[in-house]
């Protein structure tokens, strides 16, 4: 007979690794944005990609693409520990969170710009307008409906999971409240002007502590057996 602790231990280990990588990527992304602010125009992105393709990718949230993959094991690990606490809210939160993550990927134009930028540079001046129009469309989609859906759905997921964590005895109130705080700040998408930007930054601070606390708990064997 399989030992249930061993059955879930792999997931906890993956969650620890994913969370650790995420915590390393966050300061890197902040440093890049602070040191090399992304362009504000389509032509600016084309010029950046042609000068430095790697910086171009990073300026269009290449690391965020990785981050959204890393968050999946964390969601699953939380869900496993709370599997006996909700038969409605828990699966709903997971499903909507995963729908949101899936919705994000078609919005990110990092690699589309990698393809278009060299063509823009080589195109005759009369044809450059075509590539600029394509780039404008990509950037509009980048901060459009799908991105906002992704953002709000994941806010709902984080709030829901944090509420369930708070009701359970598996997580400390500190961990649960920090997660809830991050989720509440995520209700307003980062695309909502200055307010959205401020709320996005405010959500990031508790999120870092939330992930760090989860990593610390998932490393402990006594926590792995507590919910079984």
Q: What is the pLDDT of residues 105-161, one digit of tens each?
A: 999 999 999 999 999 999 998 899 999 999 999 999 998 999 999 999 999 999 999
d(CA 192, CA 189): 6
Start-end of H helices in the chain: 4-35, 42-51, 53-59, 62-81, 89-104, 110-122, 128-142, 145-167, 173-185, 193-218, 221-226
pLDDT for 191 equals 87
Radius of gyration of the chain (CA): 20
Token pair 């080589």 in the structure block, residue: 122
| pLDDT of 42 strictly over 80 | yes
Count other Cβ atoms within 10 Å, centred on residue 92: 14
The token pair at 132 is: 């600029």
**Helix, strand or coil for residue 149?**
helix
d(CA 25, CA 19): 10
Domain housing 63: 4-226
Task: Tally the domains of the chain.
Answer: 1
N-terminal to C-terminal alpha carbon distance within the chain: 15
How confident is the model over 196-208, as a mean pLDDT? 92
Kindly give the interhelix angle for 62-81 and 4-35, rounded to the nearest 10 degrees.
Answer: 150
How confident is the model over 174-195, as a mean pLDDT? 93
């Amino acid at each position: 007979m399989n030992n249930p602790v061993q059955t879930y231990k792999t997931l906890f280990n993956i969650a620890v690794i994913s969370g650790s990588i995420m915590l390393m990527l966050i300061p890197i992304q902040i440093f890049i944005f602070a040191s090399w602010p992304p362009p504000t125009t389509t032509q600016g992105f084309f010029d950046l990609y042609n000068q430095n393709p790697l910086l171009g990718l990073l300026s269009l949230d290449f690391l965020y693409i990785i981050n959204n993959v890393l968050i999946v094991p964390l969601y699953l690990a939380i869900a496993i520990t709370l599997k006996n606490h909700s038969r409605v809210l828990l699966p709903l939160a997971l499903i909507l969170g995963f729908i949101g993550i899936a919705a994000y990927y078609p919005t990110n134009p990092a690699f589309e710009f990698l393809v278009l930028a060299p063509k823009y540079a080589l195109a005759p001046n009369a044809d450059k307008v075509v590539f600029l129009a394509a780039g404008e469309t990509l950037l509009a989609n980048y901060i459009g409906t799908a991105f906002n859906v992704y953002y709000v759905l994941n806010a709902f997921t984080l709030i829901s999971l944090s509420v369930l964590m708070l009701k359970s005895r598996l997580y400390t109130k500190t961990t649960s409240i920090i997660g809830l705080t991050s989720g509440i700040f995520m209700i307003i998408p980062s695309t909502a002007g200055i307010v959205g930007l401020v709320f996005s930054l405010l959500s990031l601070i508790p999120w870092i502590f939330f992930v760090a606390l989860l990593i610390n708990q998932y490393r402990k064997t006594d926590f792995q057996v507590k919910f079984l």
